[in-house]
Amino acid sequence: MIFGGKGFFIGAFHAVKNRVANMDLLIALGTSTAYLYSTFVVFFPGVLPVDEKNVYFEVSAIIIAFVLLGKYMEEIIKTRSSAAIRKLIDLKPQTARVVRDGAEVEIPAESIMAGEMVVVRPGEKIPTDGNVAEGHSSVDEKMITGESLPVEKQTGDEVIGGTINKVGSFKFIATRVGADTTLSQIIKMVEEAQLSSSKIQRLADRVASYFVPAVIGVALLAVVVWAALGNPERVIFSFVGVLIIACPCALGIATPAALMVGVGKGAELGILIRGAEYLERAEKLNTIVFDKTGTLTRGEPEVTAIVPQPGVGSDEVIQLAAVAEKGSEHPLGEAITKRAKMAGVDVAEAEAFEAVPGQGVRVVYGGGEVLVGNRRMMAGADINIADRETDISALEEEGNTVMIVAREGNLAGLIAVADTLKENAADVVTGLQEQGVEVIMLTGDNERTARAIAAAAGIESVISNVLPGDKARTIKELQAEGKVVAMVGDGINDSPALAQADVGVAIGSGSDVAKETGGIILVKDDLRDVIKGIRLSRATMRKIKQNLFWAFIYNSVGVPIAALGLLNPIIAAAAMALSSLSVVSNSALLKRVNV
């Protein structure tokens, strides 16, 4: 009895002093009060005008039983809701075969070291990330990338840990091991997102921190009123009932439960969400900005036309361009070097190389300067292209990007390079517009080419001729107009814009820098996941708001009834357990949402 009373006062004191939202405090106080009251009636009969049959030992036991039942049911639903993480963890193989001292040995998969040769046989899971060194096979990657068909792997190709080798045997060099593998990073990202806190969660926690001492105050007030009215049994009923039914468990788990399910469902769909705040922001998006090359388009352009100057051959033009672009990693440069190889043209090394962001490349070859770039680069070098402006415009209106080639201050020719839209790009744009989202295309290309690609995708708003360093500034300008902006990109040059946007959406096949910067990562490289991500975020936020509404309504209705002494503590305990269960169950319904 003494210890129970001491616990009551210490708990109440700390709740009031620190405004701690301890979800178990109110239950403990209510149960302890019922137990102490029962003990007092038994050992000091006649002091209180209550029959011994009205003691509350059984009430204490039943309250605890209901609380434990509610907690047990919550854990079952939470466990089912976190199935996404368990599925990812199950992808990790337990053992691996590596080549050490010239012999194959089987070791635990976590013991693989970077640079080791790993052997994979048909039907086995690939134990870590790496690059194929010997052999070839087809690999089932759908559990990571969502690719439905097996992907052919040959020497030099990348393999991902956790994927399944189908037919052939091969050896690969481990490049990322342990916590650095793609699968481990995905698991870590999902776990951190499920544990993260959003603004609405912090608001609920703040409300709960004031709610606990307020409820204790209401319970004490009910005690004073009923004691003054000379009804000791109502004193206990009201005090215990208020403390138990007002337990803010439902309020406390309303947001985390929905976030856990929402983030888990996103992982199953190949949509990795870095934190709760990105779900919250994604719900409010009204503008989405797409990068062009590699995002809306396949990022695999091809040379469609070569227009040489009089007296210059087509092979010479492609040779000059290929020499200049040999040191470039830009998709347009790769298209040019690929065409040069197909034409059997010898591509020598340039004597000097300089990339000019947003303009092109400048190299020294054969003792002279060679330029390959756009109008801005030619204007800066005082190279006259006026007599070719008609040809350039005609090619651009067809959706080509035109690379202008100049040698030693003179125009040598034009190379037209075209990229095709990704599958479903136009459907995605239409779907976003139907949801009331403005779609903008952002590109460093000239306006004619940009508008030709945008028209094919159904995009009306185009921002062209943007230098890589100015993309973030463009996003900031859109935000200054009151727009909530998402940026979808894949390249290193998109990273500043991804960071500046309210929500950065990185394409899974893009650069590591872009993926590190993005708040949402589309593992499957499928633009349709942009729409799914928005729908999922909105569905998750709806569940959170529903949970908070019912949690508040439940307490608003239950506390006054309990304070009037009209609520049996056993019923209060059952209602409290059911309230938490209803919040978790409502959140679990997110798994059935069709996005």
Residue 585 contacts residue 70 (beta carbons within 8 Å): no
Q: How far is CA 99 from CA 120, 157, 159, 410, in A?
A: 11, 20, 18, 57
Residues 237-266, buried b or exposed e (16+ Cβ, 10 A)?
Answer: bbbbbbbbbbbbbbbbbbbbbbbbbbbbbb
* Residue 24 annotated to the active site: no
Residue 376 contacts residue 388 (beta carbons within 8 Å): no
Q: How far is CA 221 from CA 228, 460, 472, in A?
A: 11, 64, 57
DSSP E strands, 186-293: 271-273, 287-291
Residue 54 contacts residue 233 (beta carbons within 8 Å): yes
Q: In whole angstroms, what separates CA 352 from the centre of its chain? A: 42
Helical ranges in 19-106 per DSSP H: 25-43, 57-81, 83-90
Task: Give backbone dihedrals phi and psi of 167, rounded to 5 degrees, phi first.
Answer: -120, -55
Only one residue has tokens 């459907």, namely 427
Closest CA to 580 of 96, 247, 217: 247
Q: Rounded to an integer, what distance in angstroms lies between the CA atom of residue 62 and that of residue 19? A: 28
Among 129, 291, 419, 445, which one carries the catalytic annotation?
Answer: 291
3-state secondary structure (DSSP) of residue 71: helix
Residues taking part in catalysis: 291
